[in-house]
Structure 1
Amino acid sequence: MAQQLPLDELSTVIARIQGMLLTEEKVTTAVRLLAQAAKESVPGTIGAGVSLLDSRGRRTSSGYTDKIVEQADAAQYEHGEGPCLTAWAAEEPVLVEDVQSDQRWPEWRNAVRLLPIHSVVSAPLLAGKEAIGALKLYAATPHTYDASSLNLLQLFAAPAATLLSHVQASEAPKKMTEGLQSSLHSRDVVNRACGVLMERLGVPHTAALQQLMKQAREERTTLQNVSESVLAGTPASGD
């Protein structure tokens, strides 16, 4: 049976997580640090991780501590069932004392029967009224986790959800800004390259742009790469 950590030790662990996450700019790195701290704090755990949505809106395992977590999670995503997905969807913690005797997710149970996973505990990451993912722990022996493990994991999940939502929110405008800057830079490079061809070939802007696009297709590269070559002094094809 898992044992509850003393209050002062638990407070230290939570403070450690908060400090790590608040100083990290990337969600994946922050999650990895969180998962490692959770793994080290719950006896018998062989792997920990977080399920989140990726940039394409797909469920994915982030910051997992061990390969076994990725394998067990992949089976959940493939079959659309499992303890972590249930915790996420139902917004309630899930405890699995013995994977092989638990009847709730037959397809997932069959998919992981050869993996050294026999006990699972998972808690939803609730940020306000939204569940943004789930934190989970895997153990190699049955009955590794109990109610105290579940309570402990929930204590991890609460601040983790708040902090992860903040990190994600702060990353969003940064990514949008980076994307906008990249787009503006690309457009500027193409326009400058068009100007070079207009002067060199005596053609209008539309014809110069078509020339760049034609060369990009022939060379199977991007319009920006061709434009950069023109600006660097490399003759455009057809000169």
Structure 2
Amino acid sequence: MRITEQPGPYRDLETRSAGELLTLINEQDRLVAPAVGDCIAPLTDLVEAIVPRMERGGRLFYIGAGTSGRLGVLDASECPPTYGVPPGLVIGLIAGGDRALRDAVESAEDSEAQAWKDLEPYAPNTDDTLIGIAASGTTPYVIGGLQRAGEAGLLTGCVTCNPGAPVTEVCQHPIVAVVGPEIVTGSTRMKSGTAQKLILNMITTSVMIRLGRVKDNRMVDMKLSNAKLVDRGTKMIVESTGLPYEEARRRLLETGSVRHVIDGM
């Protein structure tokens, strides 16, 4: 039986108090970070393979179904405001389309051909990377998409929580975070989902840093989309240049970029 489908470690949950349940969930969540830590070596190989492709203009695609698909769309959607990259650089696709972000479209994951059909409008090429996300590692939508992408010459990877799962056999860079059974048996939105989110964050953050989208430890290319971010950007400039706050803010609003202000000093 797949690890993600094995019985949870605690029984008779309905008899537990709220405090007990929260404690047990927290105990299980503590297992996630070490499991992700065990993935550093294969993650390093994947990131080092992605960066030169993106330097040549390649894109990063995520595909997944259910929770896994939503996590991919979430990670992709956060890259433009955080790093100032165009929306088409990191793209998340979920089985069932955008409707599946809010409403479960569970049968959508059963088609092996659909993921590549969803990718075709983007005209994928050999500088692109496709990462399939599937906690179980058995999702036909993801497996089929990775198989077709590999045949087309894309760099391929996967994020799963089951060693030896079928998805690991159809990609070049399998990332396997073994977090163990869920407290509610099979509910992979919990530990497995947490591990997947950590890994996706690690991939895009590392890639963006390597692409030069971070200066020191600052998001100097972030979009100034609200007052909080304008204030954050102003303080970055003050710290880097010694300008008074109001002058830093004025220059920031004129140029629209923390990087431009700092580099122009």
TM-score by length of 2: 0.28
Query: Which of the pair has more CA radius of gyration?
Result: 1
